[in-house]
A and B are shown apart, each in its own frame.
Chain A
């Protein structure tokens, strides 16, 4: 076998060392690919060398074209983003610096008045997001665990299909569904909690899909390593699989939160706005930042209302940003170490 290889080499190139010939004689099982016989691409050496010294064929043009397209796409995404941020910050930042913004509500403040704050809406949005997350996160993560670790056959396929449908539901439809069940059928009043229920419907599919993707990224070898140590499957799922996917799951939860915190349609239908503090999720109107924006947008003819609208919008962006930062810190603390 080795003589054959050497002959093949000798004809082609003189630089080839006979190193692999020696190895072959004591390793039957691993035959390295015979690099020397045919140059990569099947071209003779001269052609490859010539191209190396002279790269200005079609490829440089394609490279430039791809560059232009890529930067163009980047710009198309970044320009609107910066524009929005600039508009919101420039219009809203003054109010956020005022002393009462973070402490007061809007009680007895009419559209044309200045003063007051957004504390009621900030609290309301955080409470509602918190309640939504407390319900949606366990359901979403457990569903994903079922789909990835346990689910086989028709039931798993049906659940997966349902999640797909759920993720396509417009938020106003989710709100109407909750209205039909909560208010029309059971006769319970509209409230912050009812709105949170419709947000749960919107958040679950986001969490299921992102968690699913993260669990699929956990190498099977880790599961096998745990099984081989005599660890039961459920302990493996909790302590190894979920633990390894932790940071990704946190990111998914944050994406879900960001999605629902800005939702307005369910609030319009299920949780009418109030300018007062309201810490009771189960009864009465409920203040939230999207609804505050909506309220002041209705009176945008007043400069004061317009400014409040921008202020509330900036506050909402900052809240989502803050949650993101907190989530990143949590995710980093719990992620895989190398």
Chain B
């Protein structure tokens, strides 16, 4: 249930503007890879190219290759909708569907794709909520609105919703930046558990968080505003934080800029 991602020489554009340049990296299955770097360095943009969410924005396009095991995500015949079923995503701000109950939110991905069988749905909703460490808190109020939960619970609801469609890879775009420390801890613990099943990529502004949750860390940077962001280096998290190969990484980690 987890796949390797191989990115080769990827350029990402918004219209004529080149946002990210020349990224080559391998993301290992059943592990957590963290993307760190200053604002505007293209880490979120790059993350969104991994499930083709990038092209939802007008003018968004890429050059280069993204392989999910042996499938080319940008092959001409590849359906972006199918890609997103395989590579799920959790966003910065919790975004449960406001018209839906907790149950309906978790079941949304399946229901909107035509799964109707009540028993199947019940089973998946329970296992997904358990997978997101939310089941115990909400099992007695599954029919209450999802928007009535606390911020941290909402984010775990969104994680449950994402894993309910049984993806291979889970992308997380600063999933804790809108949450308090307790909720953040809950999500971080959850990430540690989820990596047994999924390939996880997490963008974070918080370097302690990257150090806590990830196995490998990629540092992105940009030379100046207006320049495209680049991947400076990717290595085991302990190496990045203790003995990075690049001076720029060390400067960023140690707080000399950014």
| A residues with CB within 8 A of B | 26-30, 152, 219, 221-232, 235-236, 239-240, 243-244, 246, 334-338
Contact = CB atoms under 8 A, between A and B. Distances in A.
Contacts of B82: 230
Of B51, B84, B207, most A-chain CB atoms within 10 Å? B84
Contacts of A232: 81
B95 A222 contact: yes
21 contacts: A29-B205, A29-B207, A219-B95, A222-B95, A224-B56, A225-B95, A227-B53, A229-B85, A229-B113, A229-B162, A230-B113, A231-B108, A231-B109, A231-B112, A231-B113, A235-B113, A244-B99, A336-B98, A336-B145, A338-B98, A338-B148
Contact of B95 (A27, A28, A224, A230): A224
A228 B89 contact: yes
Contacts of A229: 84-85, 88, 108-109, 112-113, 161-162, 165
B147 interface: yes
Chain B's interface size range is 35 or more
Contacts of A243: 99
A222 B91 CA distance: 10
Contacts of A228: 51, 53, 84, 88-89, 91, 162
Contact of B99 (A26, A224, A235, A336): A336
Interface in B61-107: 81-86, 88-89, 91, 93, 95-99, 101
Contact of A26 (B88, B95, B208): B208
A235 B208 contact: no
Contacts of B58: 152
Given A230-B81, A244-B98, A336-B147, A224 B112 contact: no
B contact face: mostly helix, strand, loop, or mixed = mixed
A91 to B, nearest CB: 45
Interface in B221-236: none
B97 A240 contact: yes
Interface of B: 51, 53, 56, 58, 81-86, 88-89, 91, 93, 95-99, 101, 108-109, 112-113, 145, 147-148, 158, 161-162, 165, 205-208, 255, 258
Nearest to B209: A29
A337 B255 contact: no
A108 to B, nearest CB: 54
B91 A230 contact: no
Contacts of B85: 229-230
Contacts of B205: 29-30
A167 B161 CA distance: 42
A28 B255 contact: yes
A28 B81 contact: no
Contacts of A338: 98, 145, 147-148
A30 B96 CA distance: 27
Nearest to B110: A229
Contact of B112 (A239, A334, A336): A239
Contact of B145 (A26, A152, A337): A337
A223 B57 CA distance: 11
A28 B88 CA distance: 30
A189 B6 CA distance: 71
Given A152-B58, A226-B97, A235-B112, 8 more contacts: A221-B91, A225-B95, A229-B109, A229-B161, A231-B112, A337-B99, A337-B145, A338-B98
A225 B91 contact: yes
B93 A28 contact: no
A184 B148 CA distance: 60
Contacts of B89: 224, 228
Contacts of A335: 99
A224 B52 CA distance: 11
A299 B81 CA distance: 67
A108 B99 CA distance: 54
B95 A221 contact: yes
B147 A230 contact: no
Of A224, A229, A240, most B-chain CB atoms within 10 Å? A229
Contact of A230 (B158, B165, B206): B165
Nearest to B147: A338
Contact of B158 (A225, A246, A336): A225
Nearest to B52: A227
A224 B97 contact: no
A244 B100 CA distance: 9
Contacts of A227: 53, 56, 81, 84
B97 A222 contact: yes
Nearest to B111: A239
A170 to B, nearest CB: 37
Contacts of B158: 225
Nearest to A28: B255
A223 B145 CA distance: 18
Contacts of B96: 225
